[in-house]
Amino acid sequence: MMNTLKRMRMPMLLLLITVLFFWRLTLTSQYTWLEGPDNARELLPWFQVQSEQWHNHGFPLWDPHTWAGQPIPGQVQLGTLNPLNWIMFSAPLSHGRMRISTFHFFYVFIHYLAALFTYMLCRDLRLSRAASLLGGIAFGMGGFMGTVGFLQREMGALWIPLILLFFFRMLRGERTLANAAVSGALL
């Protein structure tokens, strides 16, 4: 029990840092990351269509609103087959629409996962807890993840540290086939 608490201390600190870093989204309702036209007019409606179908106990297979209809899973950008998006699509609706707070939570969650996965990679590379924490913060909230502004691209990038973690384990000869398979599956 005590070992579990000790191991969870740094990931919980990383969560706190992430929440505080995005304080405008997590602690107020005055700001949004959806201000750009691509996010507001494209991403939000795409996710709304998928969420509606999800809440009607269906899997989002068809978008009837675009080009006289088209298959949703065929548009890789929408992330229909990404299990992390299923969490967002399952969130409670407000008057039949996704809540902006759900998008904000998910945005912060994606950055936290990127930071956590980087922390795990750094620890696996035998870096200190402090160095791993700084590495997680740098990747999760800076660089590409901190500036790209497109959730669907961030969703792809957040897996990079885990892909590398399992790839490096495979290169070191640790459970070669299993680690290669996990790295490849994540890729």
Span 136-181, pLDDT tens digits: 999 999 988 988 877 778 888 999 999 999 999 999 999 999 999 9
**Torsions phi, psi for 47 (to 5 deg):** -65, -35
Quick check: helix, strand or coil at residue 114? Answer: helix
Each residue of 7-16: pLDDT tens digit?
A: 889 999 999 9
Each residue of 46-85: pLDDT tens digit?
A: 888 888 888 888 887 777 777 777 777 767 666 777 888 8
Q: Which two tokens stand for residue 178?
A: 């299993």
Partners of 62 in the beta sheet? Answer: 71
Locate the domains of the chain by residue range. 1-31+100-187, 33-98
**Torsions phi, psi for 70 (to 5 deg):** -160, 155
pTM over 0.85: yes
Contacts of 118 by beta carbon, 8 Å cutoff, 6+ apart: 132, 135, 136, 138, 139, 140, 161
Distance, CA of 159 to CA of 151 (rounded, Å): 13
Q: How far is CA 78 from the centre of its chain?
A: 13
